[in-house]
Amino acid sequence: MSPGFIFTMSLRARLTLLYASLILGILLVFGSVVYWLVSIVLINHIDEQLHATVSDIVNVTRVDLIGGDLSVIRFPALEMTSNVHVQIWGRNGKLMTTSPSIAVYTEPLDPENLQSPIPVYHETYFEGVHLRVLNVPLIVEGRSIATLQAGASLSLVDTAQEVLLIILGIAIVIAVLLAAIGSWLTVGRALAPLDSITETTEQINRADDLARRIPYNGPAKRDEIGNLIGVFNQTLERLEILFSAQQRFMADVSHELRTPLTVIKGNVDLMRKMKSLDEESLTSIDQEAGRMTRLVGGLLLLAQAESGSESLSMKPVALDTLLLEVFQEMNVLAGERVKLRLSEIDQVQINGDRDRLKQMLLNLVGNAIQYTPKGGEVFLSLSTISEQARLIIRDTGPGIAPEDLPHIFERFYRAEKSRTRDTSTGFGLGLSIAHWIVEKHNGHIEVESEEGQGSTFCIWLPLDEKVIIPVTTD
Ligand code: ADP
């Protein structure tokens, strides 16, 4: 099997193969150790038998010495009750005596070790029989006079080893098969959710339907696959929200651009028909072009804010001076229709982008003036509370309906009543921009409103340097 083939297999097959190979490896090592230990025990048993027999023979062997010379050796009768066969060979290579069981044979049991000067155990074949032979030199007065060869058949050991090999082989094959089947089923079960992830992803791709979610049928306490499904579903949810927000955004932008373009086109067509420049039409075109410029400017700012490319130039800003500036500019806009009041102003300095902070204040004060009906009032105040600057813009206008309140900071969101107003008003971008500017200054914006009772926007900004000199203007 080439390594490349393994990579073309499914993950399930690969894991099964890995698991089965691991089990096979472990069992082979285990089987070899068992086989080796059993063989050692059996051979030891045979060796002990040979050793006992040889000891018995040597103990009863008599040697007669006449005048210091070897004359007669008297061996005991080599009638063995066990399966041990004995031969005694003289140094001259003559068979001196043999046990009756092998009396017909004149060949040494172990020719290789016939002259061995030390006792040696050796395995050999004698007349086709597998034997374990103990060779012992018989030494008299320092002289080796003969070699005793005691051999025992190893057929029982061989049979035991063969049977053991067959049993181990069958056990290993069965164990590896069971392990492979078990791991195939377990891995299949564990990987089944991945199939459903793939299937759902394919359905999403085919149908462009981000509303689909991957079903999770696992245990209550999520495992790794459960976590993956959870994270994947969260990603889908986020993508769905982003995608629908983008679609809504496109629809909103197209809608907002269509009105001024229709007005411009209508006026151009009219002037073409009249074959003269009409002052009223030109003013209308100019207004609509200005409106589109404001819209595109707002969108550009929000797009840059979202992409993070719009950076603020932070410098110490005297908020009180800035608020006074906004107050004076907006007082002109409020005119006689709405009374703009500066109720409290502390001297407060923060670290911020002056232009963006002014834009935020103009948006909020502009809204307050715009939505407050004739004869109403708008109050501005600046104070320092718990190490923070607090700006308040309060009006006595119509207020914001509770169902609109959570959405007013969204792009293009305009409360129901505001949508029907004439086209010279905003696009629903002012509060989104104000919100982004405040957040960029590490502050936050709060709104309280009750229908018919007016609205209060409260902006909290962290202080740079605290200088408070209470001044109250009314
Ligand atoms: P717009 O350009 O429509 O004013 P904004 O983002 O500034 O957009 O405001 C979003 C919506 O919040 C407005 O359409 C209006 O319905 C509501 N709103 C904002 N300020 C006030 C206010 N001071 N009083 C009543 N409604 C307000």
Give the DSSP H or E segment for 38: helix 11-60
Residue 165 near residue 35 (C-beta atoms within 8 A) = yes
Any atom of ligand 1 within 6 Å of the Cβ of 397: yes
Quote the crossing angle between the two packed helices 279-307 and 430-440, to the nearest 10°.
30
Pair of tokens at residue 345: 């102003």
pLDDT band at 5 (very low <50, low <70, confident <90, very high): low
Q: Please provide residue 148's backbone torsions phi and psi, each rounded to the nearest 5 degrees.
A: -100, 125
Q: Please provide residue 151's backbone torsions phi and psi, each rounded to the nearest 5 degrees.
A: -125, 145
Residue with the smallest CA separation from ligand 1 atom 19 is 367
Mean pLDDT of 437-461: 95
Give the span between the Cα atoms of 97 and 117, in whole angstroms: 20
Encode pLDDT of 180-222 as tens digits.
999 999 999 888 888 888 888 888 888 878 888 888 777 777 7
Any atom of ligand 1 within 6 Å of the Cβ of 409: no
Encode pLDDT of 292-316 as tens digits.
998 898 888 888 887 777 778 899 9
Residue 295 near residue 274 (C-beta atoms within 8 A) = no
Pair of tokens at residue 30: 């285990």
Q: Which of 408, 413, 425, 450, when mutated, tests ligand 1's pocket best, judged by the most ligand atoms within 8 Å of its CB?
A: 408
SS3 208: coil
Residue 71 is which amino acid? S
Encode pLDDT of 213-260 as tens digits.
888 777 777 788 888 888 989 999 999 988 888 888 888 888 888 988
For residue 112, the CA-to-ligand 1 centroid distance in Å is 113
- 436 closest CA partner among 336, 359, 380, 368: 359
Please list, in sequence order, all residues whose beta carbon lies within 8 angstroms of the beta carbon of residue 215, skipping any fewer than 6 positions away. 196
Predicted structure pTM score: 0.57
Mean pLDDT of 362-376: 95
Q: Domains of the chain by range and CATH?
A: 13-159 (3.30.450.20), 224-307 (1.10.287.130), 315-466 (3.30.565.10)
Q: What is the DSSP letter of 465?
A: B
Average pLDDT, the chain: 88
Any atom of ligand 1 within 6 Å of the Cβ of 400: yes
Encode pLDDT of 128-138 as tens digits.
999 999 999 98
**β-pair type (84-90, 69-74):** unpaired
Question: Kindly report the CA angle at 100 between 97 and 104, in degrees rounded to 5?
Answer: 85
Residue 390 near residue 383 (C-beta atoms within 8 A) = yes
pLDDT band at 382 (very low <50, low <70, confident <90, very high): very high
pLDDT band at 90 (very low <50, low <70, confident <90, very high): confident
